[in-house]
Amino acid sequence: MARKEKRFVVHSENIGLCSAKILMDKLTGVHYIYFTDGCSGGLTVLLDENGKPFIQPVTDDDEP
């Protein structure tokens, strides 16, 4: 059975019960931020300086 590639690259930082994760979609290059504090949390797209979704060009190394 072929190994399923992960679609997201995740960078995380934890501070006590709070955690912030940046997720980069390897298919589209779009970045998201996921923040949790105790039992609540939220996910949103990261924006660039013009208010558009932050997109990092996908390289061959990043593709799923």
What 3 state SS string does 38-64 have? CCEEEEEECECCCCCECECCCCCCCCC
Q: How far apart are CA 32 and CA 38, in angstroms?
A: 20
Q: What is the mean pLDDT of residues 50-56?
A: 95
Mean of pLDDT over the chain = 88
Domain positions in the chain are 8-45
Q: What is the pTM of this model?
A: 0.77
- Which pLDDT does position 4 carry in this prediction? 76
Band (pLDDT 50/70/90 cuts) for residue 64 is very low
* pLDDT number for residue 19: 93
The arithmetic mean of pLDDT across residues 37-49, rounded, is 94
Examine the pLDDT at 62 and tell me if it is beyond 90.
no
